[in-house]
Structure 1
Amino acid sequence: MTLNIFSDNKLGSRANPPGAWKPLRRWAQVLTAPVERFLHIQASSGIILMLAAAVALIWANSQWSHLYHSLWHTPLGFRLGNLSFERDLHFWINDGLMAIFFFVIGLEIRREIHQGELSEMRRAALPLFAALGGMVVPAGVFIMLNQGLVTAQGWGIPMATDIAFAVGVMALLGKRISPALRIFLLTLAVVDDIGAILIIAIFYSAELSTLGFALAAIGILFIFLMQKLGIRSPWAYLAPALITWGGTYAAGIHPTIAGVVVGLMTPVRAWLETDQFLDIAETKVHKIRHMKNRDEAALLPHLSQLNTARKEAVSPVERIQQGLHGWVAFIIMPLFALANAGVPFGEASLANDGFNVFWGVMFGLILGKPVGVFLFSWLAVQLKIARLPTGVKWRGIFFVGLCAGIGFTMAIFIAQLAFTSGQTLETAKLAILCASGLAAGLAFATGLILLKPELADGAARTESEAEASADK
Structure 2
Amino acid sequence: MVARIAAPLRRYLDTEAGSAGLLLLATLAALAWANSPWPDSYDRFWHTELSITLDTHTLNLDLKHWVNDGLMVFFFLVVGLEVKRELAMGELTDRRRAAVPLAAALFGLVAPAVLFLAINPSGEAASAWGVVISTDTAFLLGVLALVGSHVPTGLRLFLLTLAVADDIGALTIIALFYTEDLDLVALALAALGIAAMLFLRYLHVWRGPAYFVLAIGVWIAMYESGVHPTLAGVVIAMFTPAYPARREQVEEAERLTRAFRQSPNPEYARAARLSIERSVSLNERMTRLYHPWTSYVIVPIFALANAGVRLDGDTISDASTSPVTIGIVVGLVLGKLLGIWAGAYAAVRCRLGEFAPGITGLGLAAGAALSGIGFTISLFIVDLALDDPQLADEARIGVLAASVLATVLGWGLFRVAQARQGDMPGRPLKLDPPVDPARDHIRGPLDAPLTLVEYGDFECPFCSTATGSVHELQDRLGDRLRYVFRHLPLDVHPHAPLAAEASEAAAAQGKFWEMYDRLYERQDQLTERDLIVHAYELGLDVERFARELVESRYAPVVRDHVISAEASGVGGTPTFFVNGVRHVGPFDAETLAARLLETAPAA
Larger % of helix: which? 1
Is contact 2:51–2:60 with CA below 8 Å preserved after alignment? yes
Superposition misfits of 4+ residues, deviation over 6 angstroms: 455-461
Secondary structure in 2 aligned to 1:118? Answer: helix
- Say whether 1:436 aligns with 2:410: no
- Say whether 1:284 aligns with 2:257: yes
Change (3 A) 1:308 1:449: same
Shift of 1:240: 2.1
Q: State the match for 2:120 in structure 1.
A: 146
CA RMSD of superposed structures (Å): 2.7
Question: Residue 91 of structure 1 is aligned with which of 52, 55, 65?
Answer: 65
Q: State the match for 1:332 in structure 2.
A: 298
Q: State the match for 2:529 in structure 1.
A: none
Secondary structure in 1 aligned to 2:380? Answer: helix
Question: Residue 246 of structure 2 is aligned with which of 270, 273, 281?
Answer: 273
Q: State the match for 2:481 in structure 1.
A: none
Q: Distance in 2 between matches of 1:280 and 1:410?
A: 40
Q: State the match for 1:370 in structure 2.
A: 337
Query: Deviations for 1:213-262, whole angstroms, at most 9, x for unmatched residues?
Result: 11211112212222222222233211222222222222211111111000
Q: Distance in 2 between matches of 1:202 and 1:432?
A: 22
Question: Residue 249 of structure 1 is aligned with which of 210, 218, 223?
Answer: 223
Change (3 A) 1:275 1:180: farther
- Deviates further, 207-216 or 272-281: 272-281
Q: State the match for 1:403 in structure 2.
A: 370
Query: Deviations for 1:294-340, whole angstroms, at most 9, x for unmatched residues?
Result: xxxx5433333332232122110001001111100000000000000
Is contact 1:176–1:455 with CA below 8 Å preserved after alignment? no
- Say whether 1:385 aligns with 2:359: no
The count of corresponding residues between Structure 1 and Structure 2 is 423
One-letter amino acid matched to 1:360? G
Change (3 A) 1:455 1:214: farther
Question: Residue 306 of structure 1 is aligned with which of 272, 280, 283?
Answer: 272
Q: State the match for 1:34 in structure 2.
A: none
Secondary structure in 1 aligned to 2:91? Answer: coil
Query: Deviations for 1:412-445, whole angstroms, at most 9, x for unmatched residues?
Result: 1111111134100001001101110121122122
Question: Residue 281 of structure 2 is aligned with which of 315, 339, 352?
Answer: 315
Is contact 2:319–2:394 with CA below 8 Å preserved after alignment? no
Q: State the match for 1:174 in structure 2.
A: 148
Shift of 1:448: 2.4
Higher RCO, 1 or 2 (CA under 8 Å, sep at least 6)?
A: 1
Change (3 A) 1:50 1:455: farther
Shift of 1:75: 1.4
Shift of 1:97: 0.6
Q: Distance in 1 between matches of 2:260 and 2:215?
A: 40
Shift of 1:145: 0.7
One-letter amino acid matched to 1:176? H
Question: Residue 345 of structure 1 is aligned with which of 311, 326, 329?
Answer: 311
- Say whether 1:74 aligns with 2:41: no
Change (3 A) 1:123 1:260: same
Q: Distance in 2 between matches of 1:352 and 1:274?
A: 59
Q: Distance in 2 between matches of 1:142 and 1:181?
A: 28
Question: Residue 55 of structure 1 is aligned with which of 13, 29, 36?
Answer: 29
- Deviates further, 251-260 or 276-285: 276-285
Q: Distance in 2 between matches of 1:259 and 1:332?
A: 14
Change (3 A) 1:41 1:135: closer
Q: State the match for 1:32 in structure 2.
A: none
One-letter amino acid matched to 2:254? A
Q: State the match for 2:384 in structure 1.
A: 417
% of aligned pairs identical? 37
Q: State the match for 2:99 in structure 1.
A: 125
Is contact 2:16–2:295 with CA below 8 Å preserved after alignment? no
Q: Distance in 2 between matches of 1:225 and 1:327?
A: 28
Based on CA coordinates, which of the two structures has the bigger radius of gyration? 2
- Deviates further, 379-388 or 365-374: 379-388
Query: Deviations for 1:261-308, whole angstroms, at most 9, x for unmatched residues?
Result: 0000001136x63564356436634653x55xxxxxx54333333322
Q: State the match for 2:532 in structure 1.
A: none
Q: Distance in 2 between matches of 1:214 and 1:71?
A: 35
Shift of 1:390: 2.3
Q: Distance in 1 between matches of 2:205 and 2:249?
A: 20
- Residue ranges of structure 2 left out of the alignment (5+ in a row): 1-12, 434-454, 456-485, 488-555, 565-603
Q: Distance in 1 between matches of 2:248 and 2:46?
A: 51
Question: Residue 464 of structure 1 is aligned with which of 544, 547, 557?
Answer: 557
Secondary structure in 2 aligned to 1:156? Answer: helix
Q: Distance in 2 between matches of 1:251 and 1:354?
A: 38
Change (3 A) 1:368 1:286: same
Query: Deviations for 1:103-136, whole angstroms, at most 9, x for unmatched residues?
Result: 1111111111101111121111111110011111
Q: Distance in 1 between matches of 2:86 and 2:230?
A: 20
Is contact 1:391–1:455 with CA below 8 Å preserved after alignment? no
Q: How does 1:440-451 map to 2 (within 5 A)?
A: 440-451=407-418
Q: Distance in 1 between matches of 2:69 and 2:102?
A: 28
